[in-house]
Amino acid sequence: MALTKTIIRMAETETVVKVSGNGGTATIDLQTDLLDSNQALAGATQTVTITAVRWGGELSNVFLINRNSLRILTLPTDASDTMLFDGQEMPPENVNATHDIEVSQVGTGYVELYLKLRKVSGYAPKIETAQFGSKDDETVVGS
């Protein structure tokens, strides 16, 4: 069984991903899942931090969030909550920020997880009219 990923919001520097279901795992791939249609990858390494997380679901379930096999968050549904890493109280969660985000569920009840992600580097806009004017080719970066 697998958890389902849904892109709730996609912007140039931010993406909100919902992960939900009844058990299993899901991987948020930094090179494919977070790439807006108006963006291209800029280099081999993408850096993405977590700026907020909200989770809930049926009791006795736990979300385990890892990056490069290192646990960065453990979120029990018995204590559903929101954590903000927006710089007001806590800085963005940046442990292993160049690695995909691996989400797994311990338990079998229905659960929901929302991750607000900031694209720090490794993404370039295709629309560069300020630099290239009317000769901008919006299908590629740097034309």
- How many domains does the chain contain in total? 1
Q: How many angstroms separate the CA atoms of 121 and 101, rounded?
A: 16
Each residue's pLDDT tens digit, 4-30: 999 999 999 999 999 999 989 999 999
Q: Domain span at residue 44? A: 4-135
Is residue 84 assigned to a domain?
yes
Is residue 131 assigned to a domain?
yes
pLDDT the model gives residue 143: 55
The b/e string for 118-142 (b: 16+ C-beta within 10 A; e otherwise) is bbeebbbebebeeeeeeebeeeebe
Is residue 94 assigned to a domain?
yes
pLDDT the model gives residue 14: 96
Each residue's pLDDT tens digit, 90-115: 999 999 999 999 999 999 999 999 99
Each residue's pLDDT tens digit, 27-80: 999 999 999 888 889 999 999 999 999 999 999 999 999 999 999 999 999 999
Is residue 41 assigned to a domain?
yes
Is residue 120 assigned to a domain?
yes
Is residue 143 assigned to a domain?
no
pLDDT the model gives residue 64: 98
Is residue 142 assigned to a domain?
no
The CATH code of the domain that includes 54 is: 2.60.120
Structure token pair of residue 46: 């993408």
Structure token pair of residue 57: 């679901």
pLDDT the model gives residue 94: 97
Instruction: Calculate the CA 72 to chain-centre distance.
Output: 13
Is residue 42 assigned to a domain?
yes
Instruction: Calculate the CA 6 to chain-centre distance.
Output: 11
Its sign, for the CA torsion 81, 59, 63, 71, is positive
Q: How many angstroms separate the CA atoms of 49 and 41, rounded?
A: 16
Given a cut of 60, is residue 133 above it in pLDDT?
no
For residue 82, with 0-12 CB atoms within 10 Å meaning exposed, 13-18 middle and 19 or more buried, which class applies?
Answer: exposed
Q: With beta carbons less than 8 A apart as the criterion, state whether 65 and 72 touch.
A: yes
* pLDDT confidence bin for 132, thresholds 50/70/90: low
